[in-house]
A and B are shown apart, each in its own frame.
Chain A
Amino acid sequence: MMNESVPERQGIALVFLFIVGDSFVFGLARWAGRDLWLSFLVAIVLASPLILVYGRLGSLMHGQPFSEALPRLLGKWPSRLVALTYSAYAWRLGCFVTGDITNFVQAVSLPDTPQVVMAFGYAILVLWAVKEGIEVLARFSSVMIIVVLLILLTALGLAMTEVNLQEFLPIMYDGFWPVLQGAFQILDFPLLETVLFIGLANALTTKKRSAYKVLIPGFLLAAFFLMLFASASVAILGEEAYMTSYFPVFMSTARIDIALFLTRLEAVVGVTFAIGTFLKISVCLLVASKTLAHTLGFSDYRFLVTPLVLSIIPGSQWFAKSIMEMEQSATKIVGFTDVVVQVALPLVMWIVAEIRMSKERKNKAGKPSGI
């Protein structure tokens, strides 16, 4: 397999779209209500060390593909177990995200179109993109990020007349607990879903550049962007509407009304949501196929893509049977699986990898003549 490499800026765009892509329409940190900006700050502070761990794990792989680096770091069988876990997680996440978009489209725009049709359309596109590989995804995202930012920032600018900063007051009326709840919710979805990029770290790392250089800016940009949008939505809609509607950002852009002509920009926001979702599903499925290929001991992942991608069509309908389930999965505070995959497992992997690496270094240094 050829060595894949993604330029730095494209990598940042990829991470940014991955995080922002499908999450910004949801009521992120809705538990915190008007204090959600605090939740975001807390979440960013809490997430940063973990992102560093992800980046460190990526760097320890030295740009080798997942299937070579992981056994070196963790040993053969543990690495397969880890790969299987991530494969399942990535696949499940892909299903959830597909469910999000199909439910979203049905709820806001195309009520009579069966969700399976949307899921099928996505599956076809994702299938194609995943087969093309990470470089194509990165190029795709670096063009699309311009489109997405242009649309969203224009919408935000136009919505500025509706912003009422009074909505943020009083600060922490209900105490710190809701803020913390909100923070955990955004950690869980979407910030720490970045964990999937461990599986793609070989493309993000080069000899000169470690994975941090892509992960950290992408993560920070995305987090602040989400904070900006969620806060603007609260300031426009008010706390109550933010907390009770399924798609607050969508609702808040619906309020834009410039001279009776520039109205209903929410559909355009829906479009950017669809773009981000596509990218996220693609990344999920790419990781799922790569890790599954490693678990099963194959060196090429491409033949696994078709069954995995096609299986998200029923999968999405299974995981999110209704809009309520989808909403709950998106805005639940903490999920058990997520804690394991996003926090516990990376930490364990990191510690094990560091120990093994330092031993290896010692061995090399101490016994230059071999065993």
Chain B
Amino acid sequence: MIPLPRHADAPPVLRVEGLDIAYGTAPVLHGIDLRIGAGEAHCLLGRNGAGKTTLVRAILGRIRPRAGTVTVEKGRVALVPQDIALFPKLTVRENLAAFARLSGLPRGAIGARVAETMAQAGIAERRDERVETLSGGWQRRVNIAAAILDTPRLLVLDEPTVGVDAAARAGLHALIDDLRAGGMGILVVTHDLDEAATLCGHAILLDAGRVVRAGPIADLMEGAFRHDLRLSIAFVDPAEMPRAAALTGLEIAGEGLTGMVADAAGGLHLVESLTAAGIAVRAVSLERPALAHLHDALTAGSAP
């Protein structure tokens, strides 16, 4: 793999400035500003219809913006589509050789680069198997390998682990993290917020065509929740929930109450007040808020 610059003042691999896109007269993206640096992994989050696909298309140069600019370092961006976008009848090695040729790699360098990429993606042992015979996890590895043959500066992955088991997912996460650590800029488009939190240090939250939050996930979480904890309470008799909600100020969510508290003592105090009021509590959980909670909080108004 060709090492990429990672020092702090390295130019960003992706810069989006003032991007406005409309389909006909219908605006889809408004005033989008983004920056992804070398060696950073960003997840692009948002509900269906928020504008994620349009933004990705703009980054890939497939949409002419109404205003604004999209700049990818040296124009080298590669896409890993959500589906397995490979030639199923070809072996792993034949697939990669075909993609290497289409990527414009010099003919003499293709064999070595394919071997290097197979080793990097951990698929060398499957090199002579047809893609159609591989399991979902292996196919996803080849799907990624096909995109990194010409060492793009920015790698866009659309739902990179959908439909694979936990072990294969962990392997894919490790592969993507290796690529990031090698200096590649990573943009992951996903609805899986646990995966986003695991894979990416940064998040871009899109809602109704606007970036509502963007930055390091830790900063976003702290900004939204400070050091609050998330309290969830389940009841022996669910019919007691409205009274419990009125007493505690927590919200009814599913079969229990949920809400933020400043610390563990605050949570304990609320539970004690319920017990004192004769409401039997079945289970209590206190946890740090997840990215999903931030996502839900910021995009609640746009739920389809």
Q: Do A and B bind each other?
A: no
Residues of B within 8 A of A (CB): none
